[in-house]
Chains A and B, each alone.
Chain A
Amino acid sequence: AQSVTQLGSHVSVSEGALVLLRCNYSSSVPPYLFWYVQYPNQGLQLLLKYTTGATLVKGINGFEAEFKKSETSFHLTKPSAHMSDAAEYFCAVSEGSNDYKLSFGAGTTVTVRA
């Protein structure tokens, strides 16, 4: 079965600074990987996803993530944080195209300091 570990339950960054959220996964088959964002009192919104092909994936709102098979990682980055990036972020994994079940990490809450 697949699993996800997000390193750091809370991350605080200054506005304009780099945002780096860490995600490591385990999967017995080539995984599909996802990052979701959740704003307060809302549902989850897909930021980006990796299925196959290019390992550097670009998403919405200036976020990107790189799939590194050798490190079993899928870290999320944004070069310059904005106040609107304050939210909770979830990494998720599924076991490829025949598995419709997502396993989520525990989440990382991002706060942005002015």
Chain B
Amino acid sequence: NAGVTQTPKFQVLKTGQSMTLQCAQDMNHEYMSWYRQDPGMGLRLIHYSVGAGITDQGEVPNGYNVSRSTTEDFPLRLLSAAPSQTSVYFCATGGTGDFYGYTFGSGTRLTVV
């Protein structure tokens, strides 16, 4: 039982490049979300999903796309990376019946140069 797996752990991109951050879970959780963590700002919600085929925007969605074709996977796409997207990204999942025992992945540290 791996829980929540994020790949890659580290990534350096050049401005304008695109990439996909992967998040996979094996806990059959309905809810999945992406947060970014920046110093002094806590974690801010980018996008979230309450089930396969359903996604919605969070607090800071600009520059990011998501899709949810399966229960297990929730990839985050950066279409044209910008230095402002340098951050640590966390995927979090939760079962709608367990009152928010959210499980976080170990994070992806992204640097855009």
Chain A residues in contact with chain B, CB under 8 A? 4, 9, 32, 34, 36, 41-46, 49, 51, 90, 92, 94, 97, 100-107
Q: Are the C-beta atoms of B43 and A90 separated by less than 8 Å?
A: yes
Task: Flag whether B107 is at the interface (Cβ < 8 A).
Answer: yes
CB distance from A54 to the nearest CB of B (A): 14
Choose one: B90, B96, B100, B106; the contact of A94 (CB below 8 Å).
B100
Number of interface residues of B (CB under 8 A): 26
Choose one: A45, A51, A97, A107; the contact of B104 (CB below 8 Å).
A45
Q: Are the C-beta atoms of A43 and B107 separated by less than 8 Å?
A: yes
| Complex Cα gap A50–B62 (Å) | 32
CB distance from B64 to the nearest CB of A (A): 16
A105's nearest neighbour on chain B, judged by CB, is B42
Q: Are the C-beta atoms of B50 and A100 separated by less than 8 Å?
A: yes
Q: Are the C-beta atoms of B100 and A101 separated by less than 8 Å?
A: no
| Complex Cα gap A105–B41 (Å) | 7
B96's nearest neighbour on chain A, judged by CB, is A100
A42 cross-chain contacts in B, Cβ below 8 A: 106-107
